[in-house]
Amino acid sequence: MRGEMIPRRLARDTMRALMRDRRGLAWDAVLFLVFAGAGWHYAGRLQASGDEPHYLLMAQSLWQERDLDLRDNYARQDFLDYTPGPLQPHYAAPRSDGRPYPAHSPGLPALLAPFYALGGRRACLVVMAALAAWLAREVRLLSLQAASSELAAGFVWMVAAGPPVFFYSFHVYTEVPSALALAVSLRLLLAQPSGAAAAVAALAASTLPWLHVKMTLAAAALGAVALARLRGKPRAVFVAVAGAAAAAYVLYHLTVFGHPTPLAIYGGVPRDVLSSSPLRALVGLLLDRSFGLLPYAPVFLLALAGVVPLCRRPAGEWLPHVAVALGVLLPALAWRMWWGGLCPPARFLVPLLPFMGVALACALAAGGWLVRARWALLAAGWLLALFLIWRPEDRLLLNRADQPTRLWEYTLPEVGRWLPSLVSTQPRELVVAAAWCIALGAVLLLDARSRD
């Protein structure tokens, strides 16, 4: 009986909190409509690409056939509903019985399957829009915990709604739901949760490995945060729920592949791990002209500037954020395809948004001359984002595997030449990247000096 009361109490507390934040909910609804409208415009003029068709095909198979054996789906060319053929199968290590298995985790397809049944790809994009709007809300609440400023939290909300989350609000990838699950879990763990809230935090953290194997380390970091911060009943509830979820995850891999490790989907440790320089990947994720964050969302300069003010706080305030951020970042740096393939920019940095939002809030609280440029930096990112999706058929938003983006070829090729391309092996690109790193370091140093 007591167990039955926990969901009711949690639902009641949640409704009360939502009613107290009616204005925030109204803005969240507007943001959802913006994301959904962008998705409707984009999907109506450009078919799915990259990994998207594979997630959609998995959702289609789960709904129609209740399995992930995609051989018959490929044979029937079911994917022609949302992408032109032919589609090369993405298979991972075979199952224990020898049948092929998708290379992508089943969490997102399982979430989208009933919505795919209702309206195909466009219905799935409506779900992605709702998740992206919810993510912006959660990042705002996290920043409010860190900075205790409604104005700073409002600005962080506008940043979180922009690129790169804006791009992935109408693409079927795991990054937005991963960032959302991480933000929900971390916010609850940092708020001295009740037993019911601790259960929700555990469930949110436990969804991460189901969305993508690379998020397993971030889930473990959230578990460490829970063990360090929770006491008594909330800790016991978190351990029980997370332990049961971890056991189910291990049992799933044992049943499908015959091995308990999450790396069974790759047949063990992938050969591509650490085949590229982690330093090159880090610089590329920030500065690459096609796949980097700052060329498309320069406002995140403020997040970089806020890392030092965040880490000057007591360890109990900054260590949970940094631990979870490292759990997100380290797998991306170790992966050869750190750029993410055929996709919009900064794909692997989207789950880092909760950390970047908190760091940005700390930068706003600390001041400095970069803060004075915050509105110009924010507007630059939003204007570029709207330009990129204005004509989806031009494919300016989509990067071409390890090829330079079409954006600079289409607009200002001479300017693009002076932005680094870290996917290129040409020595000149390393020199350009080094120059940009020095310039970036100088800007951040001057900003820190202006605060002092």
Average pLDDT over residues 122-141: 96
Burial (Cβ within 10 Å: 0-12, 13-18, ≥19) of residue 341 = middle
Over residues 24-36, mean pLDDT: 91
Query: Is residue 106 in some structural domain?
Result: no
With a pLDDT cut of 70, the percent of the chain lying above it is 92
Q: Lowest mean pLDDT of 22-26, 129-133, 238-242, 359-363, name the range.
A: 22-26
How large is the average pLDDT for residues 401-417? 71
Question: Is residue 97 assigned to a domain?
Answer: no
Residue type, 420: P
CA-to-CA distance for 96 and 281, rounded, in angstroms?
34
* pLDDT, tens digit (0-9, with 9 covering 90-100), for 217-255: 999 999 999 999 999 999 999 999 999 999 999 999 888
Residues 6+ apart with CB under 8 A from 173: 50, 51, 52, 55, 108, 343, 347
Q: Is pLDDT at 308 greater than 60 in this prediction?
A: yes
- Residue 305 located in a structural domain: yes
Q: How confident is the model at residue 21 (pLDDT cuts 50, 70, 90)?
A: low
Question: Above 50 in pLDDT, residue 1?
Answer: no
Q: What pLDDT shows up at residue 353?
A: 97
Q: What is the pLDDT of residues 190-215, one digit of tens each?
A: 988 889 999 999 999 999 999 999 99
Q: Mean pLDDT, to the nearest integer, of 297-306?
A: 96
* pLDDT over 60 (residue 18): no
321: how many CB neighbours lie within 10 A of its CB? 25
- Cβ(393)–Cβ(175) below 8 Å: no
Residue 64 reports pLDDT greater than 60: yes
pLDDT category of residue 10 using cuts at 50, 70 and 90 = very low
Task: Tell whether the model's pLDDT for residue 5 goes beyond 50.
Answer: no
Cβ burial, residue 5 (10 Å; 0-12/13-18/19+): exposed
Query: Does position 166 have pLDDT exceeding 50, yes or no?
Result: yes
What is the number of structural domains in the chain? 1
Q: How high is the pLDDT of residue 268? A: 67
Residue 315 in tokens: 């360890």
Q: Is 102 left (phi over 0), alpha (psi -120 to 50) or beta?
A: beta
pLDDT tens figures, 324-383: 999 999 998 988 788 888 889 999 999 999 999 999 999 999 888 899 999 999 999 999
156 neighbors 140 (Cβ within 8 angstroms): yes
Residue 146 has pLDDT above 90, yes or no: no
Rg (CA), the chain: 22
pLDDT at 89: 85
Q: Is 135 domain-assigned?
A: yes
Q: What percent of the chain has pLDDT over 90?
A: 57
- Per-residue pLDDT at 401: 62
Tell me if residue 15 falls in helix, strand or coil.
helix
Mean pLDDT for 130-153 is 92
Q: Which amino acid is at 424?
A: S
- Domain assignment present for residue 32? The answer is no
Which residues, other chains included, contact 277 with Cβ-Cβ below 8 Å and sequence gap of 6+?
none
For 420, list phi and psi in degrees, rounded to 5: -75, 150
Residue 330: inside a domain, yes or no?
yes
Least confident of 159-168, 216-225, 310-319: 310-319
Mean pLDDT of the residues in the chain: 88
In a domain, 30, yes or no: no
Q: What average pLDDT does this structure show over 131-158?
A: 92
Alpha-carbon gap, residue 253 to 264, rounded angstroms: 7
Q: Which of 355, 294, 350 is CA-nearest to residue 325?
A: 355
d(CA 50, CA 52): 6
> Closest by alpha carbon to 11, among 292, 243, 200?
200
Of the listed ranges 31-35, 75-79, 323-327, the least confidently predicted one is: 75-79
Asked if 229 and 211 touch (Cβ cutoff 8 Å), the reply is no
Provide the pLDDT for residue 183. 97
pLDDT greater at residue 5 or residue 356: 356
Q: Is the pLDDT of residue 270 over 70?
A: no
Which residues are CB-contacts of 150 (< 8 A; sequence separation ≥ 6)? 144
Confidence bin at 53 (pLDDT 50/70/90):
very high
CB distance 157 to 139 below 8 Å? yes
User: What pTM, to 2 d.p., does this model score?
Assistant: 0.92
Q: Which domain holds residue 160?
A: 127-451
Q: Is residue 221 part of a domain?
A: yes
